[in-house]
């Protein structure tokens, strides 16, 4: 690869690929959501990386930003469509990827269509760097296969310690968008749902992912200690309260995070749910443009 693409991206992508194979070999009906999330994060660490964000376990209509917490009791059922969204970082260089699994024959074609949409998007990038054409390819495959894309979720460029950086890559055609350029690193992630679904997501009640916006002293010793803890371990990468709960009395960390959110030093990410309650599938790869060519990192 061109030296402008940091080697850490390549290493993060390799770990993400290995973890995908672990998922395919180990996650099935009967697996607990919390257990899967913790084991994925442990596999990332065992291979020399760190989680780029809390592992997402999106069951059926739950589409994004659901990270199991310590009180999670959910178990994957044979009928479920389960999106597993995870990321790896090394020194803040992120490989973001996702896979959807199901043991329900009713939804197998939904998964296959979503994978086809991702491949069609990749094929476009190989010959045309216009972001709008990527979205057009995704929506065209969805329509041809009898499904519809989620219209208010998108792929994105990534940068060091930034999962969503600058450019968005929609799942529908949109004009007047910027082009992808040499050395851009980005994730394409089609989300497809059933033809009679609403086709967009809304915020659900759960909030269990946070990230630090900026590190700044507040004058409150306890708040400053929380910020220092997060900054030293995560910088601005998303995190789960589950990762830190053992260091605080029950409920105290969430209270402190809410206080920091009020001061606009921390942001939170609500769970996103398909508006009509229909199942959603997602597949995602992170890739880079290297001297005009395309390198699939994950």
| Residues with catalytic roles | 85, 96, 156, 164, 189, 284
C-beta separation of 30 from 13 below 8 A: no
Structure tokens at 190: 């089609």
Closest CA to 67 of 188, 251, 257, 206: 206
How many CA atoms within 13 Å lie on the side-chain side of 189?
A: 30
Nearest residue to 298 via CA among 121, 288, 290: 288
Q: How far apart are CA 249 and CA 247, in angstroms?
A: 7
Nearest to 81 by CA among 55, 62, 54: 62
Report how far apart, in Å, the C-alpha atoms of 184 and of each of 33, 187, 188, 286 are.
Answer: 33, 10, 12, 11
Q: How many angstroms separate the CA atoms of 161 and 233, rounded?
A: 11
* Contact of 241 with 165, CB cutoff 8 Å: no
Look at residues 203, 294, 238, 211 and name the one whose alpha carbon lies nearest to residue 5.
294
Q: How many CA atoms lie within 13 A of 8 on its CB side?
A: 13
The Cα 205–Cα 203 span in angstroms is 7
- The two structure tokens encoding residue 182: 């040499």
d(CA 264, CA 21): 39
Tokens of 70: 């310590």
| 3-class SS of residue 48 | coil
């Amino acid at each position: 690869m061109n030296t402008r693409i940091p080697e850490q991206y390549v290493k993060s992508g390799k770990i993400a690929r290995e973890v995908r194979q672990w998922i395919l070999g180990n996650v099935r009906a009967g697996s607990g959501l919390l257990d899967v999330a913790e084991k994925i994060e442990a596999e990332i660490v065992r291979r020399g990386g760190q989680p780029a964000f809390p592992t997402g376990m999106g069951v059926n209509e739950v589409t994004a930003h659901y990270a199991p917490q310590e009180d999670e009791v959910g178990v994957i059922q044979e009928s479920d469509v389960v999106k597993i969204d995870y990321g790896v970082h090394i020194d803040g260089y992120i490989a973001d990827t996702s896979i959807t699994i199901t043991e329900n024959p009713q939804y197998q074609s939904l998964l296959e269509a979503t994978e086809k949409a991702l491949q069609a998007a990749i094929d476009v990038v190989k010959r045309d760097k216009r972001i709008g054409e990527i979205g057009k390819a995704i929506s065209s495959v969805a329509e041809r296969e009898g499904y519809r894309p989620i219209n208010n979720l998108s792929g994105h460029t990534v940068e060091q310690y930034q999962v969503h950086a600058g450019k968005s890559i929609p799942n529908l055609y949109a004009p007047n968008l910027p082009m992808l350029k040499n050395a851009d690193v980005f994730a394409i992630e089609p989300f497809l749902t059933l033809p009679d679904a609403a086709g967009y997501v809304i915020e659900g009640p759960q909030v269990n992912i946070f990230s630090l916006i900026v590190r700044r002293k507040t004058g409150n010793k306890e708040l400053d200690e929380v910020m220092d803890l997060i900054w030293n371990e995560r910088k601005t990468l998303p995190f789960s309260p589950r990762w830190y709960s053992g260091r605080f009395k029950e409920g105290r960390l969430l209270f402190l995070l809410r206080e920091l959110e009020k001061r606009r030093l921390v942001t939170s990410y609500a769970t996103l749910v398909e508006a009509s309650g229909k199942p959603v599938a997602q597949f995602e790869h992170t890739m880079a443009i290297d001297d005009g060519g395309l390198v699939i990192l994950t």
